[in-house]
Amino acid sequence: MSATNCKVGVLAQETLAADIRRLTVAWTDPRPEYRPRAGQFFMLRSWSAAETPVLSRPISVHDADAEAGTLTFLYQVKGEGTQKLAALRPGDTLSLTGPCGNGFDTAAAAAAGRVAVVGGGIGVAPLLLLCKELAAAGCRPELYVGFRDEPYALEAFLPYCGAISVATDSGAVGYHGLVTGILHPENFDLVLTCGPNVMMQGVYRLCAAAGVPCLASLERRMACGLGACLGCTCHTKVGPRTVCQDGPVFKAEEVFDLA
Ligand SMILES: Cc1cc2nc3c(=O)[nH]c(=O)nc-3n(C[C@H](O)[C@H](O)[C@H](O)COP(=O)(O)OP(=O)(O)OC[C@H]3O[C@@H](n4cnc5c(N)ncnc54)[C@H](O)[C@@H]3O)c2cc1C
């Protein structure tokens, strides 16, 4: 894995919902090994080494446009780190380390046949570049997304997806209930998912019952993002793995249980 460390300029910071921001930065590194792939993430930091929080914050690549020279992040404002990111304005700078992690193998996924992409809440963040890469590889995925109430960031998916199905806990939009209530894995050859653990566990169980392979992108609190500190190690069925370097994308059967 190659990860670079650099300062980048903020081009835009948009508010998509009360606590959801879309941050676009200039990214012009021409080296192919640093071209971000779907499912990879960067460690972001817009504060000095003397300031808190001590650790940089991992945020997935939402979109990457090599021609425009831009990199986009979609994030939820949760605590001190993301509040500091949310204070950034066009012209400000921040530090990026990355791209980190394995990401999705979109060429192999597209070759699998019919692909469903399933997201929950801010777990939709890495799914835009995923759908874009799948579409570029000749596969138009079907997108299934669950939100608590109002969906966000979905227009950007329209050019790349065969269909978009929405579920909301409140019933405000689409199916009233969990996204697992509208997903039928038997209609697909592969399911790719990112979202809350409980949702991915449910997606995995449906896939296992239908005999359909499933890949899941995990989230863990992490410190270095580069596999050095082992702070994000998770215990998989094939032994201990770091989420930041061996993941964040894993075969679902290695990280989730059926029972
Ligand atoms: C590989 C990876 C990719 C990620 N991609 C995105 C993304 O694209 N968009 C996005 O909004 N978030 C993403 N996250 C989560 C994001 O890193 C955390 O929300 C962020 O670090 C919180 O920092 P903070 O200082 O704002 O909040 P903190 O003050 O550190 O925490 C605030 C609250 O958020 C919880 N929290 C913090 N980190 C995590 C975490 N990793 N998982 C679950 N809960 C957490 C804490 O327990 C606490 O309740 C990703 C995490 C990982 C590991």
* d(C-alpha 97, C-alpha 83), whole Å: 19
**What's the mean pLDDT in 137-161?**
97
**What's the mean pLDDT in 145-160?**
97
* Contact status, residue 69 vs residue 134, Cβ threshold 8 Å: no
Ligand 1 atom nearest the C-alpha of 62 is 8
Give residue limits of the domains in the chain.
4-100, 106-255
Q: How many CB atoms lie within 10 A of CB 259?
A: 3
User: How many angstroms is it from 77 CA to the middle of ligand 1?
Assistant: 9
Per-residue pLDDT, 1? 56
42 band by pLDDT with thresholds 50, 70 and 90: very high
Ligand 1 atom nearest the C-alpha of 77 is 26
* d(C-alpha 195, C-alpha 152), whole Å: 14
Interval 169-187: pLDDT, tens: 999 999 999 999 999 999 9
Interval 24-36: pLDDT, tens: 999 988 788 889 9
* d(C-alpha 152, C-alpha 147), whole Å: 9
Q: Whose alpha carbon is nearest atom 9 of ligand 1?
A: 75
* Contact status, residue 245 vs residue 39, Cβ threshold 8 Å: no
Q: Whose alpha carbon is nearest atom 34 of ligand 1?
A: 78
* d(C-alpha 180, C-alpha 165), whole Å: 11
CATH for the stretch 4-100: 2.40.30.10
User: How many angstroms is it from 138 CA to the middle of ligand 1?
Assistant: 33
Q: Whose alpha carbon is nearest atom 11 of ligand 1?
A: 75
User: How many angstroms is it from 1 CA to the middle of ligand 1?
Assistant: 22
Per-residue pLDDT, 36? 95
* Predicted confidence (pLDDT) at residue 14 exceeds the cutoff of 90: yes
pTM, two decimal places: 0.96
* d(C-alpha 217, C-alpha 126), whole Å: 9
User: How many angstroms is it from 221 CA to the middle of ligand 1?
Assistant: 7
CATH for the stretch 106-255: 3.40.50.80
Interval 90-137: pLDDT, tens: 999 999 999 999 999 999 999 999 999 999 999 999 999 999 999 999
Pocket perturbation via mutation, ligand 1, pick of 57, 74, 127, 241 by most ligand atoms within 8 A of CB: 57
167 band by pLDDT with thresholds 50, 70 and 90: very high
Q: Whose alpha carbon is nearest atom 4 of ligand 1?
A: 59
Q: Give the torsion through C-alpha atoms of 200, 205, 210, 214, to 10 deg.
A: 40
Ligand 1 cavity residues, CB under 6 Å = 41, 53, 57-60, 74-76, 78-82, 122, 125, 219-222, 248
Ligand 1 atom nearest the C-alpha of 85 is 26
Mean pLDDT, rounded, of the chain: 95
SS3 state of residue 38: coil
Pocket perturbation via mutation, ligand 1, pick of 78, 80, 85, 224 by most ligand atoms within 8 A of CB: 78
Per-residue pLDDT, 220? 87
Interval 58-81: pLDDT, tens: 999 999 999 999 999 999 999 999
* d(C-alpha 112, C-alpha 152), whole Å: 29
Pocket perturbation via mutation, ligand 1, pick of 219, 226, 241 by most ligand atoms within 8 A of CB: 219
User: How many angstroms is it from 139 CA to the middle of ligand 1?
Assistant: 31
**What's the mean pLDDT in 30-58?**
94
* d(C-alpha 239, C-alpha 177), whole Å: 35
Percentage of residues of the chain with pLDDT beyond 70: 100
225 band by pLDDT with thresholds 50, 70 and 90: confident
